[in-house]
Structure 1
Amino acid sequence: MEGLYCGKQDCYDVLGVTRDSSKYEISKAYRALAKKHHPDRHRDEKEKAEASEMFKTIANAYEILKDDEARTDYDYMLDHPEEYYRHYYHYYRHRMAPKVDIRIVVAVTITVISAFQYYAAMFRWSSGVRYLAAQPKYRSMAMSYAEENGMLDNLRKIKKRNKEDIKAEEERIIKQVLEENIDIRGGYAKPRVSDVLWIQLLMSPYTIYLYFAWQVKWFWRFTIKKEEYGTEEKLYLIRRYLGISSTQFEALSDAERKEFLDEELWIKENFVAWKDAKEEERKRQLAESARYKSYRRYMKKHGPGRMYFDD
């Protein structure tokens, strides 16, 4: 069929094989013909041009017959040449389809996402350390730690250094002390390789196993055996009622978590009452706000604003 596959020629005839030939036989025939008709074997320009055209024809036939899907479509065309539009669609669908292995695309995508995750986490961590290094309280703690551990001794021995160099070195030491000793939680926590997507996917079977094992253990201890909740279990229930992630919960202060425990918020009824009280308090504070009162007076007197359009 003109314009499709091998045109008016039969791809099997081009390679000197039959429709029953195996992939190995087709590949063997192609290598022999490609070697015979390679343009570099000819010195005469005319013969070289003819060999080049023949080489392209052989290569095209091989590309069609070595691919299982393309070969199936080609065989169907030989048996049903009248279905021109179907052959046209299948031929160009195969020709225009991406040649890249989808597995490679997925792997590269996951790698890029993982790298971005780690870079973003490292940036947040560095930002958190810089912020703490700028706070007098943490600077003082870091400097005291550095002095106690002799980290400033070398800095003071060199007398010829200018103030800028000394200040820069002090900043580096302060950040180093904070990075090694401070426990930043929540979204600014120190990045871990185990948190990136690649590792999460590789560890997912184990993670799923741990999740179900934990559910079974919880059911056995607290539903069947009616054990008392420990501090960890109480905090888990409170976090679940709050509807926040473990990272967000860890970012809360110790005082806030202690308040939750003192209020016994792991008990559903206590949590609902506490939440309603907090909501009422928020509404009361909003109602008492001077700006909100002014806005209410304005709305009561003038109503909502109107917009006019001139023709």
Structure 2
Amino acid sequence: MAVTGLVAVLLAKPAFAGDQLTVTSGGGSFQQAQRKAVFEPFSKSTGIKVTDDEYSYDSTKIRAMVQSKTVSWDVVNAGPATTIRLCGDGIIETIDWKKLGLDRAKFMDNDKNDCGVPNLISATVIAYDKDKLPSGPKTIADLFDLQKFPGKRGLTKGPWGNLEWALIADGVAIKDVYKVLSTREGVDRAFKKLDTIKKEVVWWTTGAQPPQLLADGQVVMTSAYNGRIYDAIKNSGKHFEIMWDAQQPAISFWVVPKGGPRLDDAYKFIAFASSPQAHAEMARITAYAPSNKDAMALVDPAILPHVPTAPDNLRNALPSDSIFWMEKGDELGQRFTAWLLK
């Protein structure tokens, strides 16, 4: 499906053969979808070539580029905590919504910061192979139940999300998770719960690993990004299933590193990538939910049950608190690393 909604705006300045934009994102099936749904149609509509790069959502390189005045990434897809921190530190541009030509009110989470344009909503979920576990898991507590579900678990190698799930499995109400996690006793409680499965955990570091861990039978269940699991089901024929209980939805943002030489073209790209058509097409391919509210009417009805914002999937969701992780991330990351070594 070609994206055509903003061509008049995009072509306000003539494009030349030498025009080129570097867009950086998280790689894998997600970035493959971006190439098909956004990068290639944008280039076709504007004549501006998109060169894409990949990163692990670590902001170190963005900081180094800006501070050394050698910015080569024109647009970056960034996570919420990173966006808030980089915005506060003056590393990324403040978004001029009037120049962008978009209605800020049309976007979910539009008030989270002034430096990012909301992109897609993904979710960290628990996934399993239906052929091997036909009857479960059903709740996040099952992740920690080695008697009912013996075998290895896959978890991301970090505190983010794991501490929250540990508290929920230990009886903390979702609405109280971050209040409890803000205390020393709460952190101790979360790590104590993680202790109960620590020896059975396979730690993963990239989004491509969880589907492979399941496919290889190395784990009986794993945390994963919902889009990666959807891709494995749709394109690789895997009989995987998502367990949505305590899913952790998170929104990504398009940001512009400060001092880049192609600011006008960066704005054109973000406007194009943020159109309802582009968001709907990305949802069709990835099952990540649009943040552009006008896009939902364009999303294929067959996809809607698979996106994180579907009402049934949101019933017991735990939205990640990006402010909490911005403030506590380094401290809890150090404790997690020390805990792993015990």
Is TM > 0.5 for Structure 1 vs Structure 2? no
Band the TM-score falls in, shorter-chain normalisation: under 0.3
Bigger share in helix: 1
With the length of structure 2 as denominator, give the TM-score of the two structures.
Answer: 0.18
With the length of structure 1 as denominator, give the TM-score of the two structures.
Answer: 0.19
User: RCO higher in 1 or 2 (8 Å CA, sep ≥ 6)?
Assistant: 2
Bigger share in strand: 2
Give the greater-gyration-radius structure (CA): 1
